[in-house]
Structure 1
């Protein structure tokens, strides 16, 4: 009995020792550390944690190897915790940097599917903002991204499950003597200290930052009241994430962490040194005066030559033999650079998962254009992509955004579109700051226009085009508020009468047909499903995933439920104020339900949809058993 008690005591002491080891740690450099690295992250020989290197668009992750038990099992509350680390961002060029880095608490170490660039290696286009992520991050962001509502290009933010910060402030630290915050440049190349402290009793998360030679300021930069119990799981991994870019390098020099206490102070004198900055050579004061004139002449000549080379390189383009046949669709980079005034922020129209879009005006014709600026490293992928661009540039329809051409420069791909003055449809549906809302006649015209454009893609062009990403944000509005379908980055083409071999599931969550997730086979019918969701979106004024109602409520399910209960008109956007023909609205809603039917055979073709809209074909009863369009209506269609 005494032996059993002794063994139990030893096990308890060992467990306590292990808990202490993994609930508290200090790394003054990372030569000997329990870190798990992936992506481009590495530990340098000097002990620096290097999150990114010159590899473009690759994330870097570094997480503590062992997960932490962050919750009290008795009451479900998150324990208080404290962490401190020293970081530095070394830009390749002064005042220019790619995305920053983030301290992260995550259920997993790998963050599968996370994208680099603006997503900081944390999220992607479909899961950004999803409550099921259970991710808490503190971002040190050096890019202003309109997509996430960033306040500037030099800020600190608290992120919960997505990159739209719940609290953010320009990078700065509090100076007690003057009682004010002093600005800091995150890309100064100088090491800085960050403290992150969570108090469970107060449910407060504080973030403090300062230069490395300044003690912890008395006032935090950010202080947010937040109960982490619904965000943090019982066990979490902690670490760092960043986005690979050739514009800068992200380092962590030291790191300490403690649960239910204050993180240990780092020994700043023992931290590894950052790579030395490169300095150009200088002329010595021993140069004799007779030679000075020659040196000055050579310097001026060299400067002139270098200036011309840099100017030429500024507009340098990449042209390969296989592109010669497509040169009629190609703009010069110099022309687009001047059209957008050097891609200035003031000309930025928007930011998305595929790049940044700028407004421009062609110098020669004064035509207004929209230039989408993307990057692409794969030569073979670039060739295939340009081939599809050339095919799509041949599309001509009044309800398709016209692709005017493209340009290439090094790893960049630039697409040139006609400019749409009223922007994207989703701004009119969801932006509360819009001075006007869409009336019913405008919405109906937009629906008809997009339907006409899709009919052209599916049946009337020389090949079949499957768009694969139909949604309100990809519908743009011209000066007369005509809807035009754009963004063909995911589209695929195949010949009439052939069987499409498209087996890669892409699209936007909420618009993807149920069979697509099972078979991976995109067809015109999966486009019709997305169009049906789009119709409901326009009429209801609600996004496909209605998070404001319930995390799991889909717009299509809600509309079907209302239809079955005989109250389909109740889903109509309240902002319309009843100013519409109820019969007309009900017809459009029924077309939307028919298009978004879960059974593919029940959905109409786009030609049938246009005939429903034009009154040339009566709308069939909406099938509940998935048998689709009745033979009678099929015969009517053939005879029409």
Structure 2
């Protein structure tokens, strides 16, 4: 039995996706090319599934699905972009996730550890970072796959001239922490057919507990660009080991959907009672949190939930400013005060949201600097956790640097002003604030702009106080941050320092001056290597954003480009400190010597690290603060 439109109550169908013509149509099902281009969509099983727990138990699962990717006969630009099987933490489809982002991420979020995303991609369009236009890949928090497997060698073509169905099996062993992916093509997919012993397309050791949320949604995502195609799921089987609940019940849930197999979910008696009791517990406010809130120094303002609900029009999607791994931010207006605000609503599970909320509040509560986004207050009612921030009317820096042709690019004087302001904020949190905070996620999308286009450092979602390591509330595993901004030593230690923040700042400086993202390939180089090559050839000003059309101060541009390279030095001890950065930006101190060739990364000895007071490494526990 094919999928029916009535199956909508079994799925969350997001954006341009639909259930139509007996299939899950992950991007539009239309014969008109104008309705197909530049689209993204997701279809997810309606309930979150528990994949790991606090006792380090990880669920095993097996899934098989049957897909058909159809090229559009009127498409003149080839086929694209592709689709993916996904594990995601929430129901939000990232904005601007069409094209190369496959409905997984977007330019602002790609590579961010807070995405908590795992995907098996079926890619049909070659980007600069792809091996070809016919491959599968394993993706973690990014569209840059950690493993790619071209399919042509196996005689498989994702988008053949004549439509073809493909059967894919994804098998995860929660005990041995291994992931395997198998794939075959066949005319008539049979949902009960066992997976083959080969070919194994992907085999990877992987602890998903370090990647995905404890409770996650499973399903499919896809996108199109200027090149278009249709992405159909014809059937889906899913078996997940259900982890023990609080009273020790072990449940196995099975879902069999489409192609002649009815829905089946097996639950043991007593589970519903546990859910009811758990819900009752969640509705009561935790006295521990209330006590912590009341004891904070310089206690911020307490807002009523009803006022924030009214201010955001009941958290209407049209008022959503952005989202991260910890919550969603909405614009609001407090009508009685005629005050515009940004309201962050925490969205992880009950325990983690409390950790996130307290971690953010206890540090940012006392931060006071003109170039930081200001916290206005908090709300905790009936288990709902919210933080209220000053609203930034000009949004984030990246939306002005990476804008479309319909919007004028950011003037040079404003770019210089913003970089100087962020440098001042970074010096404050590193050296002048009594707790010494490390931000850990410096990038253009985390720099907000007020009405005067002053840069305000925000989204401290991965930040932590160096001296407060043993009392941190939240824990993030792996290397947090965004690819392109992460210092090389962090990939070895998994720990952050003030020097690694400087590396991220250097990436931002180059991003703002050049108008290019750090992971952009220019010829054979990524951005930082490209600028370094121009420096070596004494042509560094050729790196300045072409959209400025020469309207910039050459001496300032050269100073910032060299500063960006100095901050991007592969070896942490060679990067300038924030005090020097401030003086360099103001012109009162010359830029330090930048060698013509980018130095090789050298791992410092343990003694050298311990002996450098400004290289104090944070441990694996993280206090989280976000805008």
Same topology, TM > 0.5: yes
Change (3 A) 1:127 1:503: closer
Which moved further from structure 2: 318-327 or 514-523? 318-327
Is 1:320 the equivalent of 2:287? yes
Secondary structure of residue in 1 paired with 2:380:
strand
Task: Tell me the alpha carbon deviations over residues 150-207 of structure 1, each in whole angstroms, 9 at most, x when there is no partner.
Answer: xxxxxxxxx9988999xxxxxxxxxxxxxxxxxxxxxxxxxxxxxxx98855176899
Counterparts of residues 164-313 of structure 1 (less than 5 Å): 201-202=160-161, 235-236=200-201, 268=260, 271=262
Query: What's the secondary structure of 1:397's corresponding residue?
Result: coil
CA distance in 1, matches of 2:481, 2:349: 22
Kept after mapping to 2: 8 A contact 1:114/1:122: no
CA change 1:204–1:396 in 2 (3 A) is farther
Residues 14-413 of structure 1 aligned to structure 2 (within 5 Å): 53=47, 62-64=62-64, 115=89, 117-118=91-92, 126=110, 135-136=121-122, 201-202=160-161, 235-236=200-201, 268=260, 271=262, 318-327=285-294, 328-329=299-300, 330-379=302-351, 382-383=354-355, 385-409=357-381, 412-413=384-385
Matches of 1:466 and 1:506, distance apart in 2: 12
Q: Counterpart in 2 of 1:507?
A: 481
Partner of 1:71: none
Aligned-pair distance for 1:353?
A: 3.7
Aligned to 1:446: 418
CA distance in 2, matches of 1:626, 1:377: 43
Gapped regions of structure 1 (runs ≥ 5): 1-25, 29-49, 69-80, 85-102, 139-158, 166-196, 208-232, 257-264, 276-312, 629-640
Q: CA deviation at 1:473?
A: 0.1
Q: What is the CA-CA distance between 1:373 and the residue it aligns to?
A: 1.9
Partner Cα distance (1:450, 1:591) in 2: 14
Aligned twin of 2:507: 533
Give SS of 2:589's match: coil
* Structure 1 pair 614–105 and aligned structure 2 pair: CA distance change class (3 A): closer
Give distance in 2, aligned partners of 1:410 and 1:341. Answer: 19
Task: Give, in angstroms, the shift of residue 469 of structure 1.
Answer: 0.5
Which runs of structure 2 are paired with 1:597-616 in the superposition (5 Å)?
597-616=569-588
Normalised by the size of structure 1, how large is the TM-score?
A: 0.54
- Per-residue Cα deviation, 1:358-387 (whole angstroms, up to 9, x for no partner): 110124422110112222325377246414
Measured on the aligned residues, the alpha-carbon RMSD in Å equals 5.1
Is 468-477 or 360-369 further displaced after alignment? Answer: 360-369
Q: Give the equivalent residue in structure 2 for 1:575.
A: 547
The total of aligned residue pairs comes to 414
C-alpha distance in 1, partners of 2:434/2:503?
Answer: 23
Residue 572 (structure 1) shift: 0.6
Contact 2:516 2:527 in 1 (8 A): yes
Secondary structure at the counterpart of residue 135 of structure 1: strand
Distance 1:201 1:446 in 2: 50
Q: What TM-score do you get using the length of structure 2 for normalisation?
A: 0.55
Distance in 1 between the 2:496 and 2:142 partners?
32
The alignment partner of 2:479 has SS state of coil
Q: Aligned-pair distance for 1:403?
A: 1.6
Find the aligned partners of 1:359 and 1:254 in 2 and give their Cα distance: 40
Query: Contact 1:358 / 1:372 at 8 angstroms: preserved in 2?
Result: yes
Q: Secondary structure at the match of 2:456?
A: strand
Q: Which residue of 1 aligns with 2:403?
A: 431
Taking structure 1 as reference, are residues 374 and 272 closer, same or farther at Cα in structure 2, changes over 3 Å only?
closer
Query: In 2, distance between residues paired with 1:522 and 1:453?
Result: 18
Q: Measure, in 1, the Cα distance between the counterparts of 2:371 and 2:407.
A: 25
Query: 2:559 — aligned with what?
Result: 587
What is the alpha-carbon distance in structure 1 between the residues aligned to residue 360 and residue 458 of structure 2? 14
How far 1:391 moved relative to its partner? 2.0
SS in 2 for 1:611: helix
What stretches of structure 2 of length at least 5 have no aligned partner?
4-43, 53-58, 71-81, 95-101, 125-135, 144-155, 167-197, 204-211, 221-232, 238-256, 267-279, 603-627
Distance 1:544 1:411, change over 3 A: farther
Distance 2:158 2:506 in 1: 48
* Distance across 1 between alignment mates of 2:601 and 2:258: 69
**In the alignment, is the contact (CA less than 8 A) between 2:328 and 2:347 conserved in 1?**
no
CA deviation string 1:91-115 (max 9, x = no partner): xxxxxxxxxxxx9767xxxx7x865
SS across alignment from 1:417 = strand
Match of 1:172 in 2: none
The correspondence for 2:459, drawn from 487, 498, 509, is: 487
C-alpha distance in structure 2 between counterparts of 1:205 and 1:118, whole Å: 31
Give the 3-state SS of the residue equivalent to 2:386 in structure 1. strand
Shift of the alpha carbon at 1:348?
1.9
For 1:308-353, what per-residue CA distance to the aligned partner results, in whole angstroms no more than 9, with x for missing partners?
xxxxx9x977242342342443322212111111111222223444
The structure-2 alpha-carbon separation of the partners of 1:520 and 1:503, relative to structure 1 and needing over 3 Å to count, comes to farther
In 2, Cα distance between equivalents of 1:375 and 1:362: 22
Q: 1:198 to 1:470 in 2, by over 3 A?
A: same
Distance (whole Å) between structure 2 residues aligned to residue 553 and residue 468 of structure 1 = 25
Match of 1:524 among 479, 491, 498: 498
Cα 1:55–1:531 shift into 2, 3 Å: same
Work out the CA distance in 2 between the residues paired with 1:596 and 1:508: 15
Cα distance in 2, alignment partners of residues 248 and 524 from structure 1: 37
